[in-house]
Amino acid sequence: MNNSEIKNSLKLAAQLMELHGENPFKTRSYVSAADVVGGLDAELSTLSTDEILAIDGIGKGMATNISGLLERGSFDNLDKYMEMTPAGVVEMLGISGFGPKKVAVLWQEGGAETLEQLMELCLQGKVASLKGFAEKSQETLKAAVAFLISNQYKEKYGNIDQAIANLVSAIEGLKEVQSCSESGQMRRRMEVIDLVEIVVAAEDFDALRTSLNALQVLSEEEKKSGPTTWYGRHVGIKAPLKLHLTSLDKFVQRLVETTGSVRHINMPIADQVTIKSSLIRPFESEEELYQSLGMKYIVPELREGLKEIEWAKNDQIPALIEMSDLKGILHNHSTYSDGKHTLRQMAEHCRQLGYEYLGISDHSQTAVYAGGLQDADVARQQEEIKQLNEELAPFKIFSGIESDILADGSLDYSEEILSSFDFIVASVHSGLNMDVKKATDRLLKAIYNPHTTILGHMTGRLLVQREGYPVDHKAIIEACAETRVVIEINASPYRLDMDWRWIDYALEKGVKLSINPDAHRMDGYQDMYYGLQVARKGGLTAKDNLNSMSLPEITAFFEQKKKKK
């Protein structure tokens, strides 16, 4: 188990204890321990028992729990509460906006033990009569439950990419396997995965199936499998797994057919000609296949059936952004608010990674829950930035803030404080239950505020966990074009917001985008990778990405923006 999994297990234990009315002091001890684990730099699996006991905030009892998680994936107290709780009620703990005490009422008083039963309670109007609920909260609950049910067997790409890479590697190592590749949604770098697909070439499918079923992480569902398919599950992954078995000479054909969306492989290329209709003979490579159709090669992440066929036919495929095009990292947090690492640590690590600049944007004063900066904190941080810039030059730290967009659309400081920042990321963090008009009006007011530089995580969504508030994307994008406000592609694999499907419209309107990790610790910079994947899906190039600017270029950009206030 890694630290993230241990943290989640401790938090689950705390939720279950609160659900069952356990002593709040005991419950908080698990929450505190989870926070400690989440903030560690070293993986607990690499530490001895004595080293774990020496961690500040981890007592003897909690160290025993952690040892249990490392040794067998659980511990006695977690086992106890899991046995006392129906599996469906455990799922209910994932309902956004409804904590364990509310779930306890829905279960113990409402009688719901599954998400489906809970939805039925909502549809019958019975939730509104339960203690602590009303008509409005019943409607909110119904929407949240419907979202969870629709995402029950889906995974965030960023949650499973390493596990699938490990699986592909394991399959490649089987003696029967001649070639192997991820395919489908994984290969197209979709942000949410509801089916994991892998193409495997071998001569003896029966022998291959036997070897696959010997892998401990896999379990086959024979009724859904076929002569040339293996269908089943990967341990710990909610999305089903489908392996396409093929001969080596047909490997490229099968890979192309299963990588592209249905729309992509069926889009007309010429009269009566599609990619699918062309898969009638072997090809040495995917490049050869596309070339045979008079097209440039189309990278997997673009194969969605949008504009890529026309681009490829007319030699107009954009020079998609690469990691090497990213010159700096904007939208990051430090210990001044809710970050794990100090400003110095965040800056030095950014410089060590080869970037030219760092944009620090801790939370603003209204975000009390996240240690938002008061006026005096802003002044103190800006003084430290000045000192570090002298020390770390030519590397530069830009002074920014992630300003809450308040309920009325205004930003979170006085004009004087707002004017002191090099750049401002404006984001919504509270009051998320809005209709499209209210949400759009709120964002538009922030966009037209002359201090706003970047619009952060446009819809506030949390993939497969919480639906974003509805917005009029066209109105938002057009306003950003008018005001020269940059739109963030929040690179956290939990967000990936703005949705990549709107990137093309933003580019059409001349809006710059910015791939921002929203990093709260040094290793959070790694999330830039996930933002890059969806940026490429949307056709983003370096010239249209803010943090592809060099240090002199982005310095001039920020200065020009401030002059126009």
131-165: pLDDT as tens digits = 999 999 999 999 999 999 999 999 999 999 999 99
Alpha-carbon gap, residue 460 to 446, rounded angstroms: 15
404-462: pLDDT as tens digits = 999 999 999 999 999 999 999 999 999 999 999 999 999 999 999 999 999 999 999 99
Residues in contact with 5: Cβ distance below 8 Å, sequence separation at least 6, in sequence order: 69
User: Is the confidence at residue 242, as pLDDT, over 90?
Assistant: yes
Residues in contact with 47: Cβ distance below 8 Å, sequence separation at least 6, in sequence order: none
Residue-level pLDDT at 299? 98
Specify the DSSP class assigned to residue 196.
E
User: Is the confidence at residue 564, as pLDDT, over 80?
Assistant: no
Show the tokens assigned to 459: 């819809």
- Average pLDDT of the chain, as a whole number: 96
Residue-level pLDDT at 374? 97
Residue-level pLDDT at 271? 86
Residue-level pLDDT at 518? 97
pTM of structure? 0.92
CATH no., domain 323-563: 3.20.20.140
The structural architecture, per CATH, of the domain 260-316 is: 2-Layer Sandwich (3.30)
User: Is the confidence at residue 233, as pLDDT, over 80?
Assistant: yes
Count of alpha carbons within 13 angstroms of residue 107, beta-carbon side: 23
Count of alpha carbons within 13 angstroms of residue 464, beta-carbon side: 19
Alpha-carbon gap, residue 251 to 245, rounded angstroms: 9
Task: Return the HEC string of 267-330.
Answer: CCCECCECCHHHCCCCCCCHHHHHHHCCCCCCCHHHCCCCCHHHHHHCCCCCCECCHHHCCEEE
Residue-level pLDDT at 565? 67
Specify the DSSP class assigned to residue 195.
-
Peptide bond into 394 cis (omega under 30): yes
pLDDT category of residue 528 using cuts at 50, 70 and 90: very high
199-227: pLDDT as tens digits = 999 999 999 999 999 999 999 999 999 99
Asked if residues 426 and 449 have their Cβ atoms less than 8 Å apart, the reply is: yes
> Domain limits of the chain?
3-150, 153-258, 260-316, 323-563
Among 267-276, 316-325, 418-427, 514-523, which stretch is predicted with the lowest mean pLDDT? Answer: 267-276
Nearest to 388 by CA among 364, 425, 358: 358
540-557: pLDDT as tens digits = 999 999 999 999 999 999
Burial class (CB in 10 A: 0-12, 13-18, 19+), 257: middle
Q: Does domain 153-258 have CATH number 3.30.70.20?
A: no
CATH no., domain 3-150: 1.10.150.110
Nearest to 246 by CA among 237, 255, 259, 236: 255
Burial class (CB in 10 A: 0-12, 13-18, 19+), 300: buried
Residue-level pLDDT at 347? 98
Mean pLDDT of 321-339: 97
